[in-house]
Amino acid sequence: MASRTVGAIVVCALIGLFASNAWAGASVTIPAGAPHNDQTITVTGTGFPVHVKDPTGVQILECSDPGGSTANLPSSNLFCDGSTINPTQINTDATGAFTAKYYIYSLNSTHTSNISCDKTHYCVLWVGIDYNQDFFGTHAFSTPFEIAGSATLSTAISSGSSSTIWIVIVVIVVVAGVLLFARSRRRHPTSTSSSS
């Protein structure tokens, strides 16, 4: 009787171990903070099917998450923008993990998107196998984020300030050169000869 009890406990433990590995939830990690529009971020994930079981790889795309709340996570692919899907295949390794680069977009109806994802509207990344046919299959959502503006804009502002300084320096040098030239002409008048 004791050996049957021990055997049953071992079998239950093994079933529990395999079940927890088989049904372990997928998870996704992105860098903390608000990314900029047109910024490439690193996305890492675990708990996805291994490449042998899913040779097409995982998909990443932006979805709306009003208020940045778990309660408002997308309930279908209609709350995601299909044009933001990663352009290249992302394969998982032998443990179902991956690391990929993903390009962040600021989205709103002005830019012909069906969702808003910008400075005032939270969004999440959906990562899974097939967002069109199996949205609630193996998938995970990133932490919610807002887009902090345009990285390109801040670079332009920064280089614009630098350009302004250079313009002032050039103007000063040119004015100084003209004044020096005029002064030297006064000291050494040019002789003009008249021919008869």
Q: What is the pLDDT of residues 114-143, one digit of tens each?
A: 999 999 999 999 999 999 999 999 999 999
DSSP state at residue 192: -
Q: Phi first, then psi: what are they for 128, rounded to 5°?
A: -170, -165
Domain that holds residue 117: 24-141
Name residue, tokens 């989205």.
107
Q: pLDDT-derived band of residue 190, with 50, 70 and 90 as boundaries?
A: low
Residue 175 lies in a domain: no
Residue 5 in domain:
no
pLDDT above 50 (res 56): yes
In a domain, 62, yes or no: yes
Residue 148 lies in a domain: no
- State whether residue 111 is helix, strand or coil: helix
Residue 29 inside a domain? The answer is: yes
Is residue 108 one of the residues assigned to a domain? yes
Task: Note the pLDDT of residue 157.
Answer: 30
Q: Is residue 153 part of a domain?
A: no
d(CA 50, CA 103): 24
The domain total for the chain is 1
What is the distance of C-alpha 40 from the center of its chain?
4
Q: Return the exposure string of 120-136: e unless at least 16 CB atoms fall within 10 Å of the residue's CB, then b.
A: ebbbbbbbbbebeeebe
User: What would the mean pLDDT of 89-100 be, rounded to a whole number?
Assistant: 96
Residue 163 in this model has a pLDDT that exceeds 90: no
The CATH number assigned to the domain holding 137 equals: 2.60.40.230
The Cα-based distances of 153 to 41, 112, 164 in angstroms read 18, 21, 16
Query: Residue 47 is encoded by which pair of tokens?
Result: 């708990």
The DSSP annotation for 137-173 comes to SSEEE---B----BHHHHHHHHHHHHHHHHHHHHHHH
| Closest among 47, 48, 51 to 93, alpha carbons compared | 51
110 domain-assigned: yes
